[in-house]
């Protein structure tokens, strides 16, 4: 029996060793195939034939990184292939992750040159997404039926009437947009772009649509710093009817503290016009500071902190407050990528009294917390897109009666990975 056990154990060890050796050999073959295709692409003048070879290289390097996301050299060659194909957003992300692996100084210098070239040549950008989105509380309702109101006879309980329960539903979401940057001089661009989103649910009562556009100059201040000043306009529809229009200005800035650590800032001010709710009309604005850091070849961390304010016609709807978020994504073996993000927002209203039914007779104060988890597998792709499953848990605590809520959302979307 002991001999049989030893034979089985020895066989398992040999099987594992053979599997590892085969995997290493397959990885080596894929890498050589990718390098052959990448080197061949350099010598091809015809654009279509060149991109065909680059696609071969990208497929080979991607297949390796599905199981071995920690391989810095493979990621470097993948980034170079994307750079040559002029898919700069993808190239930039992989170059930053290579830098997180602390490559030799000569490699760092080359990557920095690549990053500067992409920054200067940026012209077109576009994005698109689609998702199936179930929601447990479309109307953000608390479901609480009892509230307390002050009367000549003291504070008394009252029962809320009607259908006030949280409503769930399964929705479909589409979003997309694009931007073109027209060169005016060596360091000056004219940015013009638009974005749109559609989210629809059965019955149409909770449908939300939005359309926005922007136009303005982008200045390359130095090798690491840029700023843009944009005129903005957007419209939002609720339940198929126009709800709000905004017209304003937005100032954006970005500074690369290091090649893999980017700092950004944004400030905006706009005039909000609300149809059929003119008490919400008035100026609105926000200021945000944030950072994105490629911490490791397989780990990216980012976050922001900011402050929002509104100056509505009605004092009861004038508000202000801070908000912040922190998140990270990590690439794991077997093709899985996991993301986690937490956010917190506090909102303080100025008006007192009956408008918000605050139980403590103080101005309304809200605290909204959300936690999201996403997961997708890089090995599963359709036309370059991977399905991503996201879960969001959201809670609002408030001193305003019957305005707190809990909400669970999920989303099956498709995202571009490589």
DSSP structure string for 118-142? HHHH--EEEEEEEEEEEES-TT---
Q: What is the pLDDT of residue 42?
A: 82
Q: For residue 353, what pLDDT is reported?
A: 56
Residue 416: per-residue pLDDT: 61
Domains and CATH numbers, the chain: 2-121 (1.25.40), 128-416 (2.40.160.40)
* 12 three-class SS: helix
Task: Please give the Cα distance from 308 to 210 (Å, whole number).
Answer: 20
The runs of H, that is alpha helices, within 159-223 are: none
Looking at the DSSP assignment, which residues form a beta bridge with residue 371?
A: 342, 393
Shortest CA distance to 302 belongs to which of 331, 272, 350, 343?
343
Q: What is the pTM of this model?
A: 0.81
The Cα–Cα gap between 377 and 337 comes to: 6
Q: What's the pLDDT at 324?
A: 98
Four-CA torsion 324, 245, 351, 354, nearest 10 degrees: -110
Report pLDDT digits (tens) over 187-219. Answer: 999 999 999 999 999 888 899 999 999 999 999
pLDDT profile of the chain (418 residues), mean per 10: 43 38 63 88 86 90 90 93 90 91 90 89 84 88 76 73 82 92 92 95 91 96 94 94 95 93 97 90 97 94 97 91 97 91 95 71 91 89 79 93 90 71
Residue 8: the pLDDT is 40
DSSP state of 204: S
pLDDT of residue 415: 67
- Residue 382 carries which DSSP code? B
Q: Tell me how many degrees the CA angle 384-372-288 measures, rounded to the nearest 5.
A: 95
pLDDT of residue 14: 36
pLDDT at position 1 is 44
**In this structure, how many other beta carbons lie within 10 angstroms of the beta carbon of residue 370?**
17
CA 136 – CA 169 distance, rounded (Å): 7
pLDDT at residue 25 in the model: 55
Q: Are 258 and 224 in contact (CB under 8 A)?
A: no
**What's the confidence (pLDDT) of residue 166?**
86
Q: How far apart are the first and last CA of the chain?
A: 52
């Amino acid at each position: 029996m002991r001999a049989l056990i030893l034979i089985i154990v020895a066989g398992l060890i040999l099987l594992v060793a053979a599997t590892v050796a085969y995997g290493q050999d397959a990885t080596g073959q894929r890498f050589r195939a990718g390098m052959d295709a990448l080197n061949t692409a350099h010598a091809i003048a015809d654009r279509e034939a060149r991109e065909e070879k680059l696609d071969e290289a990208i497929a080979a390097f991607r297949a390796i990184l599905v199981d071995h996301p920690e391989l810095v050299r493979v990621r470097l060659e993948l980034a170079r292939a994307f750079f040559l194909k002029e898919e700069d957003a993808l190239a930039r992300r992989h170059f930053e992750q290579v830098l997180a692996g602390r490559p030799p100084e000569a490699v760092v210098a080359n990557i920095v040159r690549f990053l500067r070239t992409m920054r200067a040549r940026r012209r077109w950008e576009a994005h698109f997404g689609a998702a199936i989105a179930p929601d447990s509380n479309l109307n953000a309702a608390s479901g609480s039926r009892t509230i307390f109101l002050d009367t000549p006879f003291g504070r008394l309980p009252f029962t809320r009437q009607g259908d006030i329960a949280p409503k769930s539903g399964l929705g479909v979401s589409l979003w997309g947009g694009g931007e073109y940057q027209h060169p005016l001089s060596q360091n000056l661009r004219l940015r013009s772009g638009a974005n749109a989103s559609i989210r629809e649910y059965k019955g149409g009562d909770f449908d939300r649509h939005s359309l926005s556009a922007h136009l303005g100059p982008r200045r390359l201040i130095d090798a690491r710093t840029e700023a843009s000043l944009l005129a903005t306009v957007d419209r939002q529809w609720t339940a198929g009817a126009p709800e709000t229009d905004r017209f304003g200005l937005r100032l954006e800035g970005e500074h690369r503290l290091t090649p893999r650590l980017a700092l950004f800032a944004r400030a905006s001010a706009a005039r909000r016009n609300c149809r059929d709710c003119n008490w919400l009309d008035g100026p609105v604005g926000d200021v945000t500071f944030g950072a994105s850091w490629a911490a490791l070849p397989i780990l990216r961390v980012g976050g922001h902190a900011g402050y929002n304010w509104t100056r509505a016609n009605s004092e009861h709807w004038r508000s202000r407050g801070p908000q912040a978020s922190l998140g990270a994504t990590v690439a794991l073996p077997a093709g899985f990528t996991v993301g986690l993000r937490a956010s917190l927002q506090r909102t303080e209203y100025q008006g007192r009294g009956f408008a918000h039914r605050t139980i403590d007779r103080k101005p309304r104060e809200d605290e909204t917390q959300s936690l999201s988890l996403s997961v997708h597998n890089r090995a599963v792709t359709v036309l370059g897109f991977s399905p991503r499953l996201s879960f969001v848990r959201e809670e609002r605590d408030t001193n305003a009666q019957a305005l707190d809520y809990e909400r669970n959302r999920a989303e099956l979307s498709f995202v571009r990975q490589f």
